[in-house]
Structure 1
Amino acid sequence: MDQNPPRSTSVTVADVARRAGVSKATAARVLGGYGTVSDRVREAVTAAARALDYRPNELARSMTTGRSGTIGVVVGDIENPFFSLAVRGITDVARQAGFTVILINSGEDVTAEKAAIRTLLAKRVDGLIVSPAKESELDHLQEVARSGRPLALLDRGSEALAVDTVIADDRNAAEAVTRRLLALGHRRIAYITACDTSDHLFRTPTDINTGSVRRRIEGFLDICREAGLAEMERWVHVGASSPEHTRRIATDMLRASGRPTAIIASDSVIGLEVFKASCAIGLAIPSDLSLVSFHDADWTSVTSPPVTVVRQPVYRLGERAAQLLVERLNGEGMEARRVVLQTEIVERASVAEAPA
């Protein structure tokens, strides 16, 4: 009699047990990796599972072991090279530690983020890494932390959450960039971000819910004030949330009288659109417009001229967040850790003295 089950049905532990000539309980111990069996039995069960192409029922295994072997990750925009590289760092560490990553994109929408976390918890993920869309709305993350499920925050931290957090030194980076532009004579310096407000106008850094961006804007404004520049808030432009929006913001700004002589782009997606808009208008970089972008995306080094950037340790951000989470999952119960990674300004050819 053929011991192989029909191909149309899923192979079960009972099927493997019959093939190996052992009890279902013994087969379950081998396949689940718990309990004690002889080497001979383990080899027989393993061979049977391989012959039958047995695939474990992850839900059943999680109910037995208390672990699903998965980590949930929620980021703001997976099309943004920043998040793509950070997720690579997460997945590399997770794979080495024996975990699979389930990735969900929130689109920087807190409602979508809440739904994503509910979905991941329903899938019984062992831990979560989240880049919060809004630091002012953290109740759902507080609930995760209170539940005892390990949680790490990526790139965006909050003093209100006592969980492991990995961020870059954004404020100091923005301060250094602003000092550099001021030293070259720039006074009309614009800052463009995808973050937005209800009326699409910026008034104060507290308008910005994304901590990393808020810290950059605070650094930018503080250095401008130190230099005696007043009302620089009007040079902060929000709402560059898509290439189309960014092109419109940049084009309107660069066509206006009293246009900026320098622009700081809050990410490389914005930086690319500013670069294209300035070329379309006929402005030369850097003689007419100096440009600095956060994140050392691949395109920034191959344009003409190549673009000066703030190089963030993006892969390392994801890698370190995953390392902290895995340590938690392995039972290391120390107090919440806040890791701040240093940035680097990479000088290229897109910055020059302000035009007369």
Structure 2
Amino acid sequence: MTQEKSRKVTIAEVARLAGVGTATAGRVLGGYGYSSEDVRNRVHKSARQLGYKPNQLARSLITGVTKTIGVVAGDIQSPFYSSVLRGIYDISRAEGFGILLTGSDEEPQKEIEAVELLIQKQVDGLIVAPSQLSGAEHLQAFVATGKPLVQIDRIVEGLDTDAVTVDNVTASRRCTAELIAVGHRRIGIVAELEWWQGGNFEDFIAGVLEGSVSSDHLFPSWQRLLGYLQAHLEAGVSVDPALVARVGTYSIDAATAAIASCFRHSAPPTAFFSTDGLMSAALMGVLKAERLSIPQDVSLVCFDDLDWMQFHEPTISAVVQPTREVGETAARLVLDRIADATRPPRVSMLKADLILRGSIQPPANSV
């Protein structure tokens, strides 16, 4: 038994049933040019009656609109980007747009290739988490095409576009301040701090102490370090650079080694602040290996509230990022600019909330 192949309805058949010319039917179904309301109603009624499905590729060649938004995520495996993508998808789909997803693995060359691919796919707009915060000629070139670009999570210096970020500095300052408030003075921090465009690590700390470092064009991990340092300054607590577990290669092994070195210090930390989920996992591993209890031996607060943190005993104090809102806001900015390319760029900085649980208490040696 053979199955009869379904025949594709042509635009000429729709035109004939509607009593109009093929060109007129094409304009109505393609959404371009002028046609009277009566003609539009007849064409759409005929299309529905015949089960006509428009050729999206042909339509995009005529209108220059593909109804797609390109997304370049830094790490498509991370919970952060998974939630951001959910927000982008929900808003885009509600407006009849699809998304084309690719990633950079936080590598500039991969990002360049991803953007080139999305340009070839003729996306109507681009949402990207930039992997470099200066230069970025490929993003400048995309903006020059006249199509909208929205930066998320970080902002390239000199790239004047819409953007959505999280207020990492304020949230991290509050995390550290909570630890200081209960008596901690030896507070460790673990973060991916591979490089800073303003100089070396020591230059960054000196700049923060002098008040000359701006958070505008920093990677999130450096912004969180900035908040940590600011909290010390505001409380009049000295900063020991030896308690900064600086991770160069973003891996749990590198983070574990950096954290372990802090606990080998002659005056080890009594509290620790981890700046993302992977760093938190590494920190938990070190505390277990060292047989250190939370919060009796080490108080703990983490950036990114992962599922296990509210079920761990004790529960872990953590910062909740508005990840889905980041995606929703980015999608709205792209769609708004597609509708009106003349408005000034907008930068939306979203608040991150700290949830205090059971992982913070005064240090054991406090009076």
For Structure 1 versus Structure 2, the TM-score category normalised by the shorter chain is 0.7 to 0.9
Provide the residue aligned with 1:278 in structure 2: 287
Secondary structure of 1:193's aligned partner: strand
Inter-partner Cα distance in structure 2 for 1:233 and 1:109: 29
Instruction: Kindly provide the CA deviation profile for residues 146-198 of structure 1, in whole angstroms up to 9, marking residues without a partner as x.
Output: 22111111121245221111112111111111122122222222222234249
Provide the residue aligned with 2:167 in structure 1: 169
Kept in 2: contact 1:86–1:319 (CA 8 A): yes
Corresponding position: 1:351 with 2:360: yes
Inter-partner Cα distance in structure 2 for 1:282 and 1:134: 39
Inter-partner Cα distance in structure 1 for 2:272 and 2:157: 30
Q: Which amino acid aligns with 1:145?
A: V
Q: Which amino acid aligns with 2:194?
A: D
Provide the residue aligned with 2:106 in structure 1: 108
Q: Sort the Cα spacing of 1:317 and 1:127 in 2 relative to 1 into closer, same or farther, 3 A.
A: same
Kept in 2: contact 1:189–1:264 (CA 8 A): yes
Provide the residue aligned with 1:149 in structure 2: 147
Provide the residue aligned with 1:321 in structure 2: 330
Q: Which amino acid aligns with 1:221?
A: L
Inter-partner Cα distance in structure 1 for 2:16 and 2:263: 77
Q: Which residue, out of 267, 275, 280, partners 1:266? A: 275
Inter-partner Cα distance in structure 2 for 1:230 and 1:277: 22
Inter-partner Cα distance in structure 1 for 2:362 and 2:342: 52
CA RMSD of the aligned region, Å? 2.9
Provide the residue aligned with 2:257 in structure 1: 248
Q: Which amino acid aligns with 1:300?
A: M
Corresponding position: 1:43 with 2:45: yes
Q: Sort the Cα spacing of 1:316 and 1:19 in 2 relative to 1 into closer, same or farther, 3 A.
A: closer
Corresponding position: 1:219 with 2:240: no
Give, in angstroms, the shift of residue 31 of structure 1: 3.9
Q: Which amino acid aligns with 1:218?
A: L
Aligned length: 343
Q: Sort the Cα spacing of 1:38 and 1:317 in 2 relative to 1 into closer, same or farther, 3 A.
A: closer
- Taking the TM superposition and a 5 Å limit, the aligned residue runs for 1:221-236 are 221-226=229-234, 227-232=236-241, 235-236=244-245
Q: Sort the Cα spacing of 1:61 and 1:204 in 2 relative to 1 into closer, same or farther, 3 A.
A: farther
Kept in 2: contact 1:254–1:278 (CA 8 A): no
Q: Sort the Cα spacing of 1:47 and 1:16 in 2 relative to 1 into closer, same or farther, 3 A.
A: farther
Inter-partner Cα distance in structure 1 for 2:40 and 2:56: 25
Give, in angstroms, the shift of residue 116 of structure 1: 0.8
Q: Which amino acid aligns with 1:106?
A: S
Kept in 2: contact 1:202–1:238 (CA 8 A): no
Secondary structure of 1:246's aligned partner: helix
Secondary structure of 2:248's aligned partner: coil
Kept in 2: contact 1:195–1:241 (CA 8 A): no
Give, in angstroms, the shift of residue 75 of structure 1: 1.5
Provide the residue aligned with 1:62 in structure 2: 60
Q: Which residue, out of 17, 20, 38, partners 2:12? A: 17
Q: Sort the Cα spacing of 1:232 and 1:244 in 2 relative to 1 into closer, same or farther, 3 A.
A: closer
Corresponding position: 1:203 with 2:194: no
Inter-partner Cα distance in structure 1 for 2:56 and 2:326: 29
Kept in 2: contact 1:110–1:137 (CA 8 A): no
Kept in 1: contact 2:252–2:278 (CA 8 A): yes
Please report the TM-score for the alignment, with normalisation by the length of structure 1: 0.85
Provide the residue aligned with 2:190 in structure 1: 192
Kept in 2: contact 1:292–1:308 (CA 8 A): yes
Out of 74-83 and 179-188, give the one that drifted further: 179-188
Secondary structure of 1:216's aligned partner: helix
Kept in 2: contact 1:151–1:325 (CA 8 A): yes
Structure 1 gap segments, 5+ residues each:
none
Inter-partner Cα distance in structure 2 for 1:139 and 1:40: 49
Provide the residue aligned with 1:302 in structure 2: 311
Inter-partner Cα distance in structure 1 for 2:243 and 2:142: 38
Give, in angstroms, the shift of residue 204 of structure 1: 4.0
Q: Which amino acid aligns with 1:316?
A: E
Kept in 1: contact 2:229–2:239 (CA 8 A): no
Give, in angstroms, the shift of residue 236 of structure 1: 4.2
Inter-partner Cα distance in structure 2 for 1:214 and 1:249: 16
Inter-partner Cα distance in structure 2 for 1:41 and 1:301: 57
Inter-partner Cα distance in structure 2 for 1:277 and 1:233: 17
Inter-partner Cα distance in structure 2 for 1:97 and 1:223: 43
Kept in 2: contact 1:130–1:154 (CA 8 A): yes
Structure 2 gap segments, 5+ residues each:
208-212
Provide the residue aligned with 2:210 in structure 1: none
Secondary structure of 1:152's aligned partner: strand
Q: Which residue, out of 76, 82, 85, partners 1:84? A: 82
Q: Which amino acid aligns with 1:343?
A: A
Q: Sort the Cα spacing of 1:221 and 1:328 in 2 relative to 1 into closer, same or farther, 3 A.
A: same
Give, in angstroms, the shift of residue 40 of structure 1: 3.9
